[in-house]
Amino acid sequence: KIHPLTGYRKSCWYEEEIEENLRWSFALNSILHTAATQYQDIALLDTKPFGKALVIDGKLQSAEVDEFIYHECLVHPALLHHSYAKSIFIMGGGEGSTAREILRHKTIEKLVMCDIDEEVVEFCKSYLVVNREAFCDSRMELIINDARAELENRKERYDVIIGDLADPIEGGPCYKLYTKSFYELTVKPRLNHGGIFVTQAGPAGIFSHTEVFSCIYNTLRQVFKYVVPYSAHIPSFADTWGWVMASDSPLELSPEELDLRMKHRIKGENRYLDGKTFSSASTLSKAVRNSLDNETEVYTEGTARFIYGHGKHCQE
């Protein structure tokens, strides 16, 4: 028997079910804040392995130590592949980190961030110190609304539209923001000529990429001429994550050109992404590449796939 005086295990834990049969647990320093909004339950935890962690409806949204991977990957490839991105629309993104990364681009003149959950936005404004500056930036316009309704009603067009939403779960709140008809009839008409759409695309691991990643890719492939899927391992998510970038203009830049554009356009230095990193991230492994090539399913108003868990919070 172990002597109680000779040390003891950490006693407080955050525990998440990545899948029904798979759990991921972080030792806790403290539970900083909890709240229940009209749409979801939010918690801000201080975890030992990953720092402050934002949890919505029992799912980790982002962790202090590695959210930069997710947000750099979501934002910079699209903005850099655009010849000169001035106006951006974020669907979701209430946490503020996506806006923060966008506002590092010197080319940006206007940023619309449209999240449905005012209380999540307020919660993040109050507690996520790292994004406070972004929320105060004069270029940003914050809208509380359903992103689809908002995009449908707006007349103006954007250089880049970014989907920072929960995964497309059938019957779930965000499903309608991933369908072929939404991309065709709502997103594409709101892009300027040469415009780029990019969305987070769920888990992209060797097994998990079939949950939604391959289908988001295939749906976008029906609507846009050029579609680039890419992925990166995010430690706190215990998985590789995926994003898909799409446009009717070519999306081809060498690592060197990407590095050059980063140097000229982005304030400060990226921690995760550079030209080579993107080149690696957009070269998928054999198994995932084959799955994506052979995917036949398309998200339409009538179909969907289920996913267990992770994902940004919901929108509609």
Report, in Å, the least distance between residue 213 CB and a copy of itself: 14
**Which residue in 66, 115, 159, 164 is the catalytic one?**
164
Q: Which one among 281, 299, 304, 312 touches a copy of itself, defined by CB under 8 A?
A: 281
Per CB under 8 A, the segment of 190-198, 214-222, 294-302, 305-313 that binds a copy of itself is 305-313
- Which spans in 58-166 are helix H? 67-81, 97-102, 118-127, 132-136, 147-153
Is 293 a residue that touches a copy of itself (CB under 8 A)?
no
Residues 17-56 that bind a copy of itself (CB under 8 A): 17, 19-31, 34, 43, 45, 47-49, 55
Q: Which one among 92, 93, 163, 309 touches a copy of itself, defined by CB under 8 A?
A: 309
Distance CA 253, CA 198 (A): 16
Of residues 264 and 276, the one with the C-beta less far from a copy of itself: 276
Q: Is the dihedral of CA 105, 273, 203, 64 positive or negative?
A: negative
Angle at 208 between CA 203 and CA 212, to 5 degrees: 60
Question: Cβ(241)–Cβ(234) under 8 Å?
Answer: yes
Report, in Å, the least distance between residue 110 CB and a copy of itself: 29
> How remote is the C-alpha of 303 from its chain's centroid?
22
Of residues 25 and 222, the one with the C-beta less far from a copy of itself: 25
What letter would DSSP give residue 132?
A: H
How are strands ordered across the β-sheet holding 239-247?
140-144, 110-115, 87-92, 158-164, 191-203, 239-247, 226-234
Residues 207-266 that bind a copy of itself (CB under 8 A): 207-208, 232-233, 235, 238-240
Of residues 156 and 293, the one with the C-beta less far from a copy of itself: 293
167 given a catalytic annotation = no
239-247 and 226-234 strand pairing: antiparallel
Is 277 a residue that touches a copy of itself (CB under 8 A)?
yes
Of residues 28 and 113, the one with the C-beta less far from a copy of itself: 28
Question: Cβ(55)–Cβ(33) under 8 Å?
Answer: no
Question: Cβ(213)–Cβ(203) under 8 Å?
Answer: yes
Residues 121-180 that bind a copy of itself (CB under 8 A): 169, 171-173
Of residues 185 and 287, the one with the C-beta less far from a copy of itself: 287
**Active-site residue numbers?**
164
